[in-house]
């Protein structure tokens, strides 16, 4: 029997520094890793994660009542079940398809062009702090129909909300700060919701306010929670995915060259980025009854964390899983942003990410704009790449140099 280091912890600094180094050992030796300090189980095998996310009878999303609801100010989509879930999910899907999506593409382009322009003559930009983060917040505000001018204030509240849902442990002070952010965000949204109910527009908030699906309409509490849900879900992972994509392309210049040659490969590069380094690393569930997973019993009521990063690197699911390869035959790019995706970055099952298609559009649109502008892209001298986060994970900074644009950049096209 292999022995497991009893001092190993997913809460250790060593794990936080590079979780990927530990995944193989976890999958092989502790596929159901118990973390006593937080009384939770961590699953690392692809098959177990997939089962946990699709066996809705055994694993529920009830844990979100404590993990999300306090800052969402009401129930989010992932908490709902049955007919209510189906109806409200369809309402949200409608907000991200058809004409709405076409308008969103225009907003994505306009924001990206506006944010990158000042950096083009300089030949230097931080793709996270200067570009990806403001872009993600501003695009989300445009989608919701909130004032773009408010982005810095909303970004502060959003960070508090995101900290709450993505923290494994929180001190009393941090918890209070996060709840304050959520309360202020709710107060900011209340008059907006009231106004959109009276005079609806084409934005997502108006759609949520006026929607009626099979007789199911949204209460103010529902609308508030879904706005905050969309705000968190469309912002937090977006700048991370974009930065991770560019990091992998800089690290694999031959693959970057192939994409520059054939931009149609960008979709595969995004899908492979999501498999290789999923921005959402953990998805929580609650065991409804005593359940055996990989030979260990998980007791009824237990919190179970699906380790998406570990599952996506499982050799039983992907060949040479630790290799970034946009041409890998087992990626199934065409399905990568649908319910039939091979990778688990969007989760799977009934609660699979409702924004997957939007996320693809956003990252694809922005990356396709940036690539021709950032000729000769490389890490800025002295830059040291570092990732943070256990729940959502990505770089806090990605400083790059590129060939500066001469004259007026060719952004007018967008």
Residues forming the site for ligand 2IO (CB under 6 A): 64, 68, 76, 78, 165-166, 229, 232-233, 236-237, 280, 283, 392
Query: For ligand 2IO, which is the closer residue by CB, 132 or 237?
Result: 237
Closest separation between CB of residue 154 and ligand 2IO, Å? 15
Query: For ligand 2IO, which is the closer residue by CB, 120 or 233?
Result: 233
Closest separation between CB of residue 12 and ligand 2IO, Å? 22
Closest separation between CB of residue 236 and ligand 2IO, Å? 4
Give Rg (Cα) of the chain.
21
| Three-state DSSP string of 94-163 | HCCCHHHHHHHHHHHHHHHHHHHHHHCCCCEEEHHHHHHHHHHHHHHHHHHCCCHHHHHHHHHHHHHHHH
Closest separation between CB of residue 279 and ligand 2IO, Å? 8
Closest separation between CB of residue 78 and ligand 2IO, Å? 5
Query: For ligand 2IO, which is the closer residue by CB, 136 or 377?
Result: 136
Closest separation between CB of residue 225 and ligand 2IO, Å? 9
Residue of 278, 243, 250, 247 whose CA lies nearest to 127 = 243
Q: What angle do CA 340, 89, 180 make, to 5 degrees?
A: 115
Query: For ligand 2IO, which is the closer residue by CB, 280 or 405?
Result: 280
Backbone angles phi, psi at 217, to 5 degrees: -115, 170
CA torsion 380-386-389-391 (nearest 10°) is: 80
CB 305 within 8 A of CB 41: yes
Query: For ligand 2IO, which is the closer residue by CB, 140 or 229?
Result: 229
Query: For ligand 2IO, which is the closer residue by CB, 178 or 232?
Result: 232
Residue of 414, 411, 397 whose CA lies nearest to 125 = 397
Query: For ligand 2IO, which is the closer residue by CB, 90 or 197?
Result: 90
Characterize the bridge pairing of strands 32-35 and 212-213: unpaired
Closest separation between CB of residue 308 and ligand 2IO, Å? 9
Helix axes 253-261, 220-251, angle to 10 degrees: 110
Give the Cα separation of 412 and 113 in Å (integer).
Answer: 9
């Amino acid at each position: 029997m292999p022995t497991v280091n009893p001092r190993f912890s997913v809460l250790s600094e060593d794990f936080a520094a590079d979780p990927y180094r530990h995944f193989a050992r976890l999958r092989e030796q502790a596929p159901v890793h118990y973390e006593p300090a937080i009384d939770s189980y961590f699953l690392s095998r692809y098959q177990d994660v997939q089962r946990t996310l699709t066996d809705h009878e055994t694993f529920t999303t009830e844990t979100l009542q404590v993990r999300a609801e306090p800052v969402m100010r009401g129930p989010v989509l992932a908490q709902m079940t049955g007919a209510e879930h189906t109806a409200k999910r369809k309402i949200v899907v409608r907000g991200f398809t058809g004409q709405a999506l076409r308008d969103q593409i225009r907003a994505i382009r306009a924001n990206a062009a506006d944010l990158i322009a000042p950096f083009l003559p300089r030949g230097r930009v931080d793709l996270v702090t200067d570009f990806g983060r403001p872009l993600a917040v501003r695009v989300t505000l445009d989608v919701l129909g909130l004032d773009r001018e408010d982005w810095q204030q909303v970004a502060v509240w959003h960070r508090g909300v995101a900290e709450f849902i993505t923290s494994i442990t929180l001190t009393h002070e941090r918890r209070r700060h996060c709840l304050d952010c959520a309360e202020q965000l709710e107060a900011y949204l209340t008059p907006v919701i009231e106004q959109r109910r009276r005079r609806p527009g084409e934005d997502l908030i108006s759609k949520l306010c006026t929607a009626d699906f099979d007789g199911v309409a949204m209460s103010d509490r529902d609308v508030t929670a879904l706005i905050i849900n969309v705000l968190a879900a469309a912002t937090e992972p977006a700048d991370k995915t974009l930065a991770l994509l560019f990091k992998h392309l800089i690290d694999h210049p031959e693959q970057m060259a192939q994409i520059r040659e054939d931009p149609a490969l960008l979709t595969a590069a995004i899908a492979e980025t999501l498999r290789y380094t999923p921005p959402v690393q953990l998805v929580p569930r609650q065991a409804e009854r005593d359940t055996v997973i990989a030979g260990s019993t998980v007791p009824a009521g237990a919190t179970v964390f699906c380790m998406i990063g570990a599952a996506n690197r499982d050799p039983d699911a992907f060949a040479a899983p630790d290799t970034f390869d946009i041409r890998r035959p087992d990626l199934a790019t065409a399905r990568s942003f649908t319910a039939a995706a091979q990778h688990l970055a969007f989760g799977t099952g009934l609660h699979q990410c409702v924004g997957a298609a939007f996320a693809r559009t956003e990252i694809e649109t922005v990356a396709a704009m940036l690539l021709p502008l950032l000729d000769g892209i490389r890490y800025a001298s002295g830059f040291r790449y570092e990732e943070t986060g256990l729940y959502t994970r990505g770089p806090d900074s990605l400083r790059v140099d590129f060939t500066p644009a001469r004259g007026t950049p060719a952004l007018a096209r967008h």
